[in-house]
Chains A and B, each alone.
Chain A
């Protein structure tokens, strides 16, 4: 990890922690990958390929006790607000890091951002994030307690969303990350958890996952979730 990026990231986490926000949000996205290796205390090779985006998931039922103006809190670090057009959601941007908040999309859905007035921000609504908040773990990130989705949930989520992407580059990145994390889970005796979670997602999602494993020649993972392919699922 680039040193200056790591330092900015730690400073962001420190400020979120001091403001009482860090314990109420879930770190998702590619920043989780190196932390999963720490979670399993293993030296499994894992890709550190990622963009500068650091995404935080906010559950819809989260209540922030104090109002914290995040753009003002991070202003002296050089973060500025980036408004997406025409969607209207905002990100805090810096050459080393892009901070974004996401909430699970439910129901019919809307393109409007989800307001987070307590943080002076808003969040992008995305489908399937419920899978990430369903089972979480807490890991130590340079002295900060950070909540992450369980690696099995992370891996399956990546595979499910990869099939919905319209951008081929993003599909490839999602599949790569998903398979990598699932293989890490398998190596660390979490195979039963993969089977269990796979059994709990919808039939449509199971089909998507199997197709993705087949398309990407991931027979090692495919045989875990679909041991008897002739019987179908």
Chain B
């Protein structure tokens, strides 16, 4: 028992944490409404659409000439969180790679 064991223990615990974190961020991303709310101007009139990707193709879903303030806010919040979660998810994936390497003795700590 000693410092080496404590360090390995911390690395193992952190790897478990990061794996759980990855699953949680993926789950949270899945909960966010798909696509983005956009406003198109066609012949001087404004129309709202949800733009999303489906099977590799961009799809526009018509939402109407006017949408509620709540919907605009919901999509703005989702856009912000999606960007944040994707960034953090990428960070977590790098941590997992690093920790697995460190536990195998392939990473310099």
Q: A: which residues have CB within 8 A of B?
A: 47, 49-53, 75-76, 78, 80-82, 93-95, 98, 167-173, 175-176, 215-216
Contact digits for B1-42, partner A, Cβ 8 Å, 1 yes 0 no: 111011111101110011011001100100000000000000
What CA separation (Å) do A82 and B18 show in the bound complex? 12
* Residues from chain B with Cβ under 8 Å of A216 in the complex: 1
Q: Which of B17, B24, B84 contacts A52 (CB 8 A)?
A: B17
The answer to whether B6 touches A51 (Cβ under 8 A) is: no
Interface residues of B, dominant DSSP: helix
Given A52-B14, A169-B5, A173-B6, A78-B84 contact (CB < 8 Å): yes
Total number of A-B contacts with CB less than 8 angstroms? 68
Q: Does B67 contact A (CB under 8 A)?
A: no
Interface residues of A, dominant DSSP: mixed
9-residue interface stretch from B46-54, B57-65, B68-76, B87-95: B87-95
Given A95-B95, A171-B1, A172-B2, A51-B13 contact (CB < 8 Å): yes
Q: Which of A50, A93, A171, A176 contacts B21 (CB 8 A)?
A: A93
* Residues from chain B with Cβ under 8 Å of A81 in the complex: 24
Q: Which of A76, A80, A169 contacts B9 (CB 8 A)?
A: A169
Closest 10 CB pairs of A and B: A169-B9, A172-B5, A173-B6, A172-B6, A95-B91, A172-B1, A78-B84, A78-B88, A176-B6, A80-B28
* Residues from chain B with Cβ under 8 Å of A169 in the complex: 5-6, 8-10, 12-13
What CA separation (Å) do A215 and B1 show in the bound complex? 10
